[in-house]
Structure formats: C-alpha cells, structure tokens
Structure 1
Amino acid sequence: MTNHYYQTTPTSSHEILKWSFELFDKDFQFTTDSGVFSKNTVDYGSRVLIQAFSFEQLPEGSILEIGCGYGPIGLAIAYASGRLVEMTDVNERAVYLAEQNAYNNQITNVDIHLSDIYTDVHEKQYAAILSNPPIRAGKKVVHQIIEDGYCYLQEAGTLTIVIQKKQGAPSAQKKMEEVFGNAAVIKKDKGYYIIQSEKRGRR
C-alpha cells in the first residue's frame, strides 16, 4: 500500500531519523519518521517561507499553521516570535513527532494537535495563518486552505503559503486574489513562491 504524508494514519514501517538544522539562530534537533513529508531535512520551500514571513507588523494574537508535519515552520516561528503558534496536521504520526520536537527543543508556546484543515482548530480568529500546503492532496485542498482561511483571520491578519510555480503558484495566487482582494508574491526562490494576502474587510 502506498503511503502519503496527507493520510491520517500512515501504515509504513517506522524509520526513525534524528538530525539537526539551524533555523534563525537556534540549532533545532528534529526527530522524523517514514510517512511524513520531507523526513530527511527541512524542505527548501519551508525554509523560504520561514525566512520570508514577518510577524512584527501583525495584529496581536496567535498564529495558525495548517499542515505542520513534524514541525519545522511552526516551531521556528514560535521560537522567533514568542507568540502562541497552533500547529495542526491530518497525519497522526506527524503530530506526534511535532509534539516530541517541541519538547526536545524546549518550545512551549505551541498548541499541536490533529485537525483536517480548519475542522478542529482551537480559536476563532488568528493574527496569521501559514501553510506549506500538501500539493499532492490536490488543488481542492489548497483552495480550501485559502477560502476558509479568510474567516479565521483577524482584520489585518495575513495568510501566507509557499508553493512552487510548476505545482500551481499562479492558480493559488489567483484564488487568493479572488478571496482576499489582494495577493502579493513576497519572495521567489528557486521556483518557490511565497504568496501572502491580508484581510482588509472586503466581506
């Protein structure tokens, strides 16, 4: 049976890996496993998103990460910003690893749990939503993250995603423009686009 990282319960045999990776000025220690996205290193798209995301100008409040995997984006942003970061994933194995990685790196300002996109999120509105969306799960999932995200953002809150041009960045940007009325490419790097929309009270 083929396993996908966007499945709820991976059935692949465990293959525990431990490695370190520097994000901001911290040497993070990560534990990963088979059945999760990019188990060997922090994938390049996530690195670009972490570097491009600015939290200084956001309204007060928590940050939500949709599709946290084993945790590199959410843990790095929690460490750098000091804000509460709610980290969710549909993959049970990924959530377990993210919890372990938070503990091992002494990151306590996180709320990590299972959720199918926004189904089980813990707050009604966030200062920002981040996602390295599961492209292989299909365009419908990516567009749902964008469409439903609007309602979960505070005024002046931002939705930021990373997506490769060849995997649908122009389509995602168009959808974000439709939903938010704005969609800026704030960074391009090796084919990865960081696209950001701001909630400006259009609805």
Structure 2
Amino acid sequence: MGEHYFAPKPAAAGRPRTIDLVLPDLHLRLNTDSGVFSPDRIDLGTRILLETAPPPPPTGTLLDLGCGYGPIALTLASRSPQASVVGVDVNERALELARGNARIADLDNVRFELAQDADPAARYDALWSNPPIRIGKAALHELLLTWLPRLSPGALAHLVVQKHLGSDSLQRWLDGQGYPTTRLASRSAYRVLAVHTPAESTAADGTNGPVADGA
C-alpha cells in the first residue's frame, strides 16, 4: 500500500476515471487515476471532514496537507474564494490531477506543489488534512511536527482519522506535544479533530514552541 500512493512516481499503470464530490454547497467533478489515494470514490473520511468541520477562514493562506487529487483543497478554495489555498503531496501523479481539477472547476485561488518544494518559511492560517495514517506512527508524527509549526499563531488544524487507526491515541499525542486537541465529531468510526496552535509565534523547526519528544 505504501508504494501505491505514497511514492513520488507511482508504478501503477494509469486507469483514468471521473468521480463526483457532492456536498450541500457544491458539486465538483474530479479526474482521478490509479496510483493515488481513493481513486474510485471520495474517501469516507474526507467526506466526513468536509461535511462536519466548520467553514474555513474566509481569507488568508489555507493548507491541505496530503492533498491527493484535490477534493479538500478545491472545497476550501470554493468555500473561501478570497483565500489562497495550497495543496501539498509527495505524489506527482496526484498533483497533476489536482492541477487539472482546479482548471476544470475554474478555481484560480488554489495551487498544488510537492511537499518538499514548499517554502519552509511560509505560514498558513488553517490546515485541513485526511493524513496518511498508514505511513506509520513515527513517519506521521514527523509529518505533523513539520507542518503544524508552520501555522500562524492561534490557527486551527482539522484532521480526520479512523478510530481503529489510532485517532484517540493521536489526540493524546498531540496534546502532549503542546497542541491542545478536541474532538469535533465522531461518525462511522471516524473522528474529526481540531488541533489548536499556540497563540505565540512558533518557528518552523519547533524553536520556542511545541517540539518532538522522539515520536
């Protein structure tokens, strides 16, 4: 599974298809392909996040961490047309799909880039993610401790995680890292978590803010 959609260049042969994301306030038709996360349908966790989390900030820079072919980022861009949305991923095939989906949806306030190419000095006013839990606990902790400190002081992150894949232990771990975390919703064995960042400034490497404890 790791190579299937965590690899920069998936080896799976292409099998393009089109799916629909239908929410009460929008309808997006999205192109997908093999080698990306949930190519046959909108992942249930993603849908629950988009249906239950509060509206994104109307302005500022909003981040979709692990954007895949773009359902979360494009929803944020549609719901907050005055905001700038950034989607990051390691999967180049997914990013190309996301860029094409943004063009189809005529959303020009969103861009997609490789995670390693993102400016480490950039700051974000919100983070939304259906994080790649299956990369393993240590890698997930490293991922979160790379990106959460890039949030602006007082900004919120919203994560969706399956209960049986460790949502409750992740909530406790985030609390222990200095990111107070509350459960906003619980549905179909998924938890939607709100992660609160410190009010004071936090450096991208964790200086003067929450730091890793060795994950």
Normalised by the length of structure 1, the TM-score is 0.90
Deviations 1:100-144 (A, max 9, x none): 1111111111011111xxx33245211111111112211123212
Partner of 1:20: 20
| Shift in alpha-carbon separation, 1:74–1:187, aligned structure 2, 3 A | same
Partner of 1:162: 160
What residue identity is the alignment partner of 1:193? R
Task: Note if contact 2:86-2:110 (Cα within 8 Å) is conserved in structure 1.
Answer: yes
Partner of 2:77: 78
What residue identity is the alignment partner of 1:65? D
1:181: Cα distance to partner? Answer: 4.2
Partner of 2:203: none
Deviations 1:77-98 (A, max 9, x none): 1101221110011001000000
In 1, Cα distance between the equivalents of 2:72 and 2:95? 13
5+ residue gaps, structure 2, are: 201-208, 210-215
Deviations 1:38-73 (A, max 9, x none): 1111111001111222245x4952111110001001
Q: What SS class does the counterpart of residue 193 from structure 1 fall into?
A: strand
1:2: Cα distance to partner? Answer: 8.0
Normalised by the length of structure 2, the TM-score is 0.85
| Shift in alpha-carbon separation, 1:68–1:150, aligned structure 2, 3 A | closer
5+ residue gaps, structure 1, are: none
| Shift in alpha-carbon separation, 1:179–1:5, aligned structure 2, 3 A | same
What residue identity is the alignment partner of 1:120? D
- Once structures 1 and 2 are overlaid, which stretch shifts more, 180-189 or 64-73? 180-189
What residue identity is the alignment partner of 2:90? V
Task: Note if contact 1:66-1:130 (Cα within 8 Å) is conserved in structure 2.
Answer: yes
Partner of 2:47: 47
1:166: Cα distance to partner? Answer: 0.3
1:1-203 mapped onto 2 (5 Å cutoff): 3-55=3-55, 58=57, 60-82=59-81, 83-115=83-115, 119-122=116-119, 124-201=122-199, 203=209
In 2, Cα distance between the equivalents of 1:87 and 1:186? 23
Q: Identity over the aligned pairs, expressed in percent? A: 32
In 2, Cα distance between the equivalents of 1:133 and 1:54? 18
In 1, Cα distance between the equivalents of 2:2 and 2:90? 17
In 1, Cα distance between the equivalents of 2:183 and 2:170? 11
| Shift in alpha-carbon separation, 1:52–1:141, aligned structure 2, 3 A | farther
- Once structures 1 and 2 are overlaid, which stretch shifts more, 160-169 or 132-141? 132-141
Q: How many residues align?
A: 199
In 1, Cα distance between the equivalents of 2:66 and 2:26? 22
In 1, Cα distance between the equivalents of 2:117 and 2:101? 22
| Shift in alpha-carbon separation, 1:120–1:178, aligned structure 2, 3 A | farther
- Once structures 1 and 2 are overlaid, which stretch shifts more, 46-55 or 157-166? 46-55
